[in-house]
């Protein structure tokens, strides 16, 4: 019983980690909180859903289609909503409004497209559970956990080991200097948006499988935000640890009190963290920069 | 006629809420995505007190606002010292938490079905007077010493600190003023519709208010109010489908941010004095040319 709860918590936490990482990527590079991330998750999850229904394909192609769709939409979104603000480099408040507006736009499009109904992904698996060494583990949970870990590992290798990843880090650190060093700054920003969108697509599909698919599914992005606050804004490592921690605590608490109170718990956990250790687990900068 | 009066009252209630948002966002540069949750607290607490406990309306309204402010203090306490991103993220989590709480406590709040049977007390004159009082107070606030400190903190927090302004306290006060005003709007709302449910107080509502403030001009109180009136009343009168309305909003605001980022009004305040000055200024320019 308790092993099952832990596995479930890890699976949920790993999806939160995907959300939080996608959010942190953008936070790092443009220093703002991307509130369109949730609606992007919904949009790409629905694209994946209709692809699955139309073609009757298995899970892997659906995930790939969703990730590509999320990446492309984020790529276009950057161009439409954030490019001019970055060029003008005025107040960061415009990023905020732009991202909220973009989120509202995505959600509005989804609502017009599918209506306010609930949708269920087709059943991708024959049996819903696997039996490993005497423990009965839910199959979606296991797949969620493994593929999230895989995606995160690939991302970390990409950021730490490749040339493009180094460019990404340098643009996050200082945009102007990176530009002077011959890095194509806007290319890198677009890349970051594409990766973030692809992560949104992946997490969207998993959330859709785990719960149901509906236009407000993106509200679950709050968990990702909370995870990155716990971990320290902008730190990918912190976001992952925070997300796993949040997923585990939430699953444990839900087991005692019921799932409806989950948002209340995650909020209280975040508030407690901000009171005790505002810089988060990884200890990022929390004060306004000059 | 009844239809137009109801639209007008709703618009005025939105205007009241937006004056609160203006203090927070326009003056201090913070964004709250849980503002609608404070509206919900105002609505539910006052409604509950009047319906279940038989408390008179005025007293219930005062208690509701006070409770909101206390809750706001707890939410604001850890966040005002940190980067501004935190207040948006924390209030977003707070809004979701309140919605979940309202949905779960079915025996008290009616859960997802909503809380009904609230007497209809809010009338057009009451909403109008409240709106005018709020606008006048906020415009005084903008021109006071406190308002200038807020604007200084918004423009450059570090510089403001160096000038001896207690920035966390300024931010907290602005947040609490916004909370008080919004929860009062919630009281008016509950006693106008006679029915509230948790669904209408999500973060979308808060985001909509921020969009309204930006549409009119974030640095201008009259601009924000103008934006609210246009964006609340116009779609109601034209009877757009609600879904298309949000898309329409979003496209409009994206256009404004891309092409006129200070909003329709910019820094300009609409007032008799400014209007006269502008008119006479134009005349002078013409005579010079």
> Rounded to whole angstroms, how far apart are CA atoms B84 and B25?
11
Residues 6+ apart with CB under 8 A from A94: A85, B257, B261
> Rounded to whole angstroms, how far apart are CA atoms B191 and B46?
9
Cβ neighbours of B74 in A, within 8 Å: 271
Band the pLDDT of B30: cuts 50, 70, 90. Answer: confident
Cβ neighbours of A109 in B, within 8 Å: 247
Q: What is the mean pLDDT of chain A?
A: 85
CB A144 within 8 A of CB A14: yes
CB A140 within 8 A of CB A209: yes
**Closest residue in B to A27 (Cα–Cα):** B85
Q: Which residue has the tokens 């300009």?
A: B268
Contact check, Cβ <8 Å, A97/B210: yes
Q: What 3-state class would DSSP assign to A138?
A: strand
Nearest by Cα to A144 from A122, A128, A133: A128
Taking the CA of residue A134 and the nearest CA in chain B, the distance in Å comes to 36
Question: Chain A neighbours among B 15-44 (CB < 8 Å)?
Answer: 25, 29, 31, 33
Please tell me the predicted confidence (pLDDT) of residue B279. Answer: 65
Touching check for B81 and chain A: CB below 8 Å?
yes
Strands A129-132 and B115-116: unpaired
Facing residue for A260 by CB, picked from B93, B94, B100: B100
DSSP symbols for B275-287: HHHHHHHHHHHHH
Cβ neighbours of A290 in B, within 8 Å: 156, 158-159
Please tell me the predicted confidence (pLDDT) of residue B289. Answer: 39
Please tell me the predicted confidence (pLDDT) of residue B285. Answer: 45
CB B212 within 8 A of CB B228: yes
CB A47 within 8 A of CB A274: no
Higher-pLDDT residue of A135 and B96 is B96
- DSSP letter at A119? B
Q: What share of chain A has pLDDT > 90, as a percent?
A: 26
Q: For residue A29, report the phi and psi dihedrals to the nearest 5 degrees.
A: -85, -35
Cβ neighbours of A266 in B, within 8 Å: 93, 97
Facing residue for B93 by CB, picked from A80, A112, A270: A270
Residue B214 to residues A19, B154, B253, Cα–Cα distance (Å): 28, 15, 8
- DSSP letter at A137? E
Residues 6+ apart with CB under 8 A from A136: A4, A129, A130
Q: For residue A133, report the phi and psi dihedrals to the nearest 5 degrees.
A: 50, 40
Residue A54 CA, chain-centre distance (Å), reads 26
Higher-pLDDT residue of A278 and A162 is A162
pLDDT at A159 over 80: yes
Facing residue for A98 by CB, picked from B92, B204, B254: B254
Touching check for B85 and chain A: CB below 8 Å?
yes
> Rounded to whole angstroms, how far apart are CA atoms B119 and B108?
17
Q: For residue B122, report the phi and psi dihedrals to the nearest 5 degrees.
A: -65, 125
**Burial label, A75 (beta-carbon count in 10 A; 0-12, 13-18, 19+):** middle
Architecture of domain B2-288: Orthogonal Bundle (1.10)
pLDDT at A8 over 90: no
- What the block records as the tokens of A278 is 């505002």
Mean pLDDT, residues A119-136 taken together: 76
Cβ neighbours of A98 in B, within 8 Å: 254, 257
B155-174 pLDDT tens trace = 888 888 898 889 899 999 99
Please tell me the predicted confidence (pLDDT) of residue A195. Answer: 94
CA dihedral of residues B53, B57, B60, B65 (deg, nearest 10): 160
> Rounded to whole angstroms, how far apart are CA atoms A101 and A98?
5
Highest mean pLDDT pick, A28-32, B54-58, B143-147, B180-184:
B180-184
Band the pLDDT of B117: cuts 50, 70, 90. Answer: confident
* Domain extents in chain B: 2-288
pLDDT at A200 over 90: yes
pLDDT at A146 over 50: yes
Which of B34, B198, B243 is the mutation pick for testing A, counting most A CBs within 10 A?
B243
Q: Which residue has the tokens 């209506």?
A: A115
Contact check, Cβ <8 Å, A229/B214: no
Please tell me the predicted confidence (pLDDT) of residue A284. Answer: 63
Please tell me the predicted confidence (pLDDT) of residue B65. Answer: 95
Contact check, Cβ <8 Å, B158/A88: no
Touching check for A87 and chain B: CB below 8 Å?
no
Contact check, Cβ <8 Å, A104/B250: yes
- What the block records as the tokens of B164 is 């001896």
pLDDT at B206 over 60: yes
Facing residue for B211 by CB, picked from A97, A216, A260: A97
Mean pLDDT, residues B12-28 taken together: 89
Please tell me the predicted confidence (pLDDT) of residue A73. Answer: 94
- Residue A264's Cβ-side half-sphere holds a number of Cα atoms within 13 Å equal to 15
- DSSP letter at A278? T
Q: What 3-state class would DSSP assign to A131?
A: strand
- What the block records as the tokens of B57 is 């309306």
Pick from A21-35, A70-84, A262-276, B274-288: least confident: B274-288
A239-288 pLDDT tens trace = 899 999 898 888 888 887 777 788 888 888 888 888 888 777 776 665 55
C-alpha dihedral sign at B26, B32, B36, B38: negative
CB B78 within 8 A of CB B189: no
Q: Exposure string (b/e) for A172-211, b if CB count within 10 Å is 16 or more?
A: beebeebeeeebebbebbbbbbbbbbbbbbbbbbbbbbbe
- DSSP letter at B116? E
Which of B40, B71, B74, B97 is the mutation pick for testing A, counting most A CBs within 10 A?
B97
Contact check, Cβ <8 Å, B82/A278: yes
Catalogue the E-assigned strands of A112-255: 129-132, 135-138
Mean pLDDT, residues B232-253 taken together: 72
Contact check, Cβ <8 Å, A263/B82: no
Band the pLDDT of A116: cuts 50, 70, 90. Answer: confident
Taking the CA of residue B243 and the nearest CA in chain A, the distance in Å comes to 6
Indicate the angle between helix axes B84-104 and B203-216, nearest 10 degrees.
140
Contact check, Cβ <8 Å, B101/A32: no
Q: For residue A75, report the phi and psi dihedrals to the nearest 5 degrees.
A: -60, -50
Facing residue for A229 by CB, picked from B29, B89, B246: B89
CB A234 within 8 A of CB A24: yes
Contact check, Cβ <8 Å, B85/A285: no
Q: What share of chain B has pLDDT > 70, as a percent?
A: 89
Please tell me the predicted confidence (pLDDT) of residue B182. Answer: 94
Please tell me the predicted confidence (pLDDT) of residue B288. Answer: 43
Band the pLDDT of A202: cuts 50, 70, 90. Answer: very high
- Within 10 angstroms of residue A123's Cβ, the number of other Cβ atoms is 8
CB B111 within 8 A of CB B44: no
**Closest residue in A to B263 (Cα–Cα):** A94
CB B184 within 8 A of CB B203: no
pLDDT at A230 over 90: no
Range list of H helices, B22-56: 35-53
Highest mean pLDDT pick, A122-131, B148-157, B259-268:
B148-157
Q: What share of chain B has pLDDT > 90, as a percent?
A: 27
pLDDT at A190 over 90: yes
C-alpha dihedral sign at B188, B193, B197, B200: negative
Contact check, Cβ <8 Å, B86/A274: yes
């Amino acid at each position: 019983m308790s092993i099952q709860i832990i596995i479930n918590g890890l699976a949920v936490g790993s999806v939160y980690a995907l959300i939080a990482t996608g959010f942190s990527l953008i936070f790092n590079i443009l220093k703002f909180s991307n509130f369109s991330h949730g609606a992007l998750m919904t949009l790409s999850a629905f694209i994946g859903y209709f692809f699955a229904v139309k073609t009757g394909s298995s899970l892997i192609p659906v995930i790939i289609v969703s990730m590509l769709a999320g990446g492309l939409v984020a790529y276009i979104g950057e161009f439409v909503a954030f490019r001019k603000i970055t060029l003008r480099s005025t107040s960061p408040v415009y990023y905020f409004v732009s991202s909220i507006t973009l989120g509202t736009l995505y959600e509005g499009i989804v609502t017009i497209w599918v209506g306010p109904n609930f949708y269920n992904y087709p059943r991708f698996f024959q049996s819903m559970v696997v039996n490993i060494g005497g423990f009965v583990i839910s199959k979606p949970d296991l797949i969620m956990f493994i593929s999230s870990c895989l995606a995160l590992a690939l991302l970390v290798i990409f950021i730490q080991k490749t040339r493009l990843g180094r460019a990404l880090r340098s643009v996050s650190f200082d945009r102007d200097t990176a530009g002077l060093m011959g890095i194509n700054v806007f290319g890198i920003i677009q890349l970051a948006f594409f990766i973030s969108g692809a992560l949104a697509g992946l997490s969207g599909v998993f959330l859709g499988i785990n719960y149901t698919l509906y236009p407000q599914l993106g509200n679950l992005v709050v968990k990702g935000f909370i995870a990155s606050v716990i971990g320290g804004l902008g730190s990918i490592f912190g976001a992952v640890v925070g997300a796993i921690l949040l997923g585990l605590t939430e699953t444990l608490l839900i087991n005692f009190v019921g799932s409806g109170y989950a948002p209340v718990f995650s909020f209280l956990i975040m508030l407690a963290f901000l009171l005790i250790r505002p810089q988060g687990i990884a200890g990022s900068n929390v004060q306004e920069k000059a | 006629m009844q239809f137009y009066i109801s639209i007008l009252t709703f618009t005025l209630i939105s205007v009241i809420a937006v004056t609160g948002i203006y203090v927070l966002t326009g003056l201090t540069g913070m964004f709250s995505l849980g503002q609608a949750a404070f509206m919900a607290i105002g609505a539910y607490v006052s409604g509950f007190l009047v319906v279940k406990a038989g408390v008179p309306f005025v007293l219930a309204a005062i208690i509701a606002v006070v409770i909101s402010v206390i809750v706001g203090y707890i939410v604001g306490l850890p966040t005002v010292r940190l980067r501004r991103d935190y207040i948006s993220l924390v209030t977003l989590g707070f809004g979701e938490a309140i919605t979940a709480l309202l949905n779960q406590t079915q025996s008290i709040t009616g859960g997802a079905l909503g809380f009904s049977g609230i007497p209809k007390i809010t009338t057009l004159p009451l909403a109008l007077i409240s709106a005018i009082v709020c606008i006048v107070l906020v415009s005084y606030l903008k021109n006071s010493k406190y308002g200038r400190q807020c604007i200084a903190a918004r423009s450059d927090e570090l510089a403001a600190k160096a000038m001896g302004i207690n920035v966390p306290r300024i931010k907290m006060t602005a947040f609490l003023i916004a909370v008080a005003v919004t929860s009062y709007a919630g009281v008016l709302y509950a006693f106008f519709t006679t029915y509230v449910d948790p669904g209408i107080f999500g973060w979308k509502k808060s985001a909509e208010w921020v969009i309204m403030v930006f549409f009119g001009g974030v640095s201008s109180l009259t601009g924000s109010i103008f934006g609210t009136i246009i964006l609340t009343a116009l779609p109601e009168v034209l009877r757009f489908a609600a879904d298309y309305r949000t898309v329409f909003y979003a496209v409009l605001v994206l256009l404004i941010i891309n092409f006129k980022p200070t909003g329709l009004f910019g820094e300009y305040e609409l007032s008799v004095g400014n209007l006269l000055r502008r008119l006479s200024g134009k005349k002078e320019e013409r005579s010079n040319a």
